[in-house]
Amino acid sequence: MSTSTKVTLRVWRGDAGQGQLTDYQVEANEGEVVLDILHRLQATQAGDLAVRWNCKAGKCGSCSMEINGRPRLACMTRMSTFEPGEPITLTPIRTFPVIRDLVTDVSFNFAKAREIPSFTPDPAVRPGEFRMQQEDVQRSQEFRKCIECFLCQNVCHVIRDHPENERAFAGPRFLMRIAELEMHPADTADRREIAQDDFGLGYCNITKCCTEVCPENIKITGKIHTPSPRHRRVLRTMRRCRPAPRGGTACRTTSSFSAKGPA
């Protein structure tokens, strides 16, 4: 038999100009997730509440928000994880501009995605001729689990606390995309230099915040700082220092991908 209780939702309401936290008492049933409670709030008390969502299955990445200060997916956060009577504070992800209520403008991420050079196979290899080893398939498979929730982008302090770094630093999601292409045995482009010079790999402080919040449990930090098999033998570990960007590291590797191992 299901049980029903009243929970306190403390929801940020407002737009790009200003806003505030507003308290609501909402019914919650056994087995529900935060997104269920938000839908009930919309249906019963706040029909104009803006919330972005799509699949409700943890695969679209749309319902990213900060729940009690932690970046999470609303559809994957069970109500049973909170203490009885504990207020649940819901705010928009902090790194990106607020559009309204819990919805933010994440267009920065799509702009960065368009800047990454696409997959570049050898034109001399005809379709159907290339053979890929299973270990190469498995190596890049973890990258493909990304659902583009952008929680890793949100929690990365290099852009979260220093928005002036956005032009120079792509953030963990797109450094991971560059690493994915670099590790693909059929890709002929050398992406090590652009990872450093165009997308700001050297700004990463390797705090592993991105890895910690990833709902797909991708070892993001380790992946973007692991040398590609194509270049592992020639990777040099000598480091040369340069002026540190705000929120970034003071040194860079002579090759774009660091010699550090996986996280």
Please tell me the predicted confidence (pLDDT) of residue 259. Answer: 28
Angle at 194 between CA 136 and CA 144, to 5 degrees: 35
Please tell me the predicted confidence (pLDDT) of residue 227. Answer: 56
For residues 40 and 28, what is the distance between their CA atoms, to the nearest angstrom?
9
For residues 13 and 114, what is the distance between their CA atoms, to the nearest angstrom?
32
Bridge-partner residues for 21, per DSSP? 12
3-state secondary structure the chain: CCCEEEEEEEEEEEECCCEEEEEEEEEEECCCEHHHHHHHHHHHCCCCCCCCCCCCCCCCCCCEEEECCEEEEHHHCEHHHCCCCCCEEEECCCCCCEEECCEECCHHHHHHHHHCCCCCECCCCCCCCCCCCHHHHHHHHCHHHCCCCCHHHHHCHHHHCCHHHCCCCCCHHHHHHHHHHHHCCCECCCCHHHHHHCCCHHHCCCCCHHHHHCCCCCCHHHHHCCCCCCCHHHCCCCEEECCCCCCCCCEEECCCCCCCCCC
For residues 99 and 128, what is the distance between their CA atoms, to the nearest angstrom?
46
Tens place of pLDDT for every residue, the chain, 263 residues? Answer: 468 899 999 999 999 879 999 999 999 999 999 999 999 999 999 999 999 999 999 999 999 999 999 999 999 999 999 999 999 999 999 999 999 999 999 999 999 999 999 999 999 999 888 888 888 888 778 888 999 999 999 999 999 999 999 899 999 999 999 988 988 888 898 888 889 899 999 899 889 999 999 999 999 988 787 655 554 433 333 233 334 444 444 333 333 333 223 33
Q: Is residue 182 within 8 Å of 228, Cβ to Cβ? A: yes
Please tell me the predicted confidence (pLDDT) of residue 138. Answer: 81
Please tell me the predicted confidence (pLDDT) of residue 185. Answer: 86
Q: Is the pTM of this model over 0.85?
A: no
Please tell me the predicted confidence (pLDDT) of residue 252. Answer: 35
Please tell me the predicted confidence (pLDDT) of residue 142. Answer: 84
Checking DSSP bridges between strand 239-241 and strand 251-253, what pairing results, if any?
antiparallel
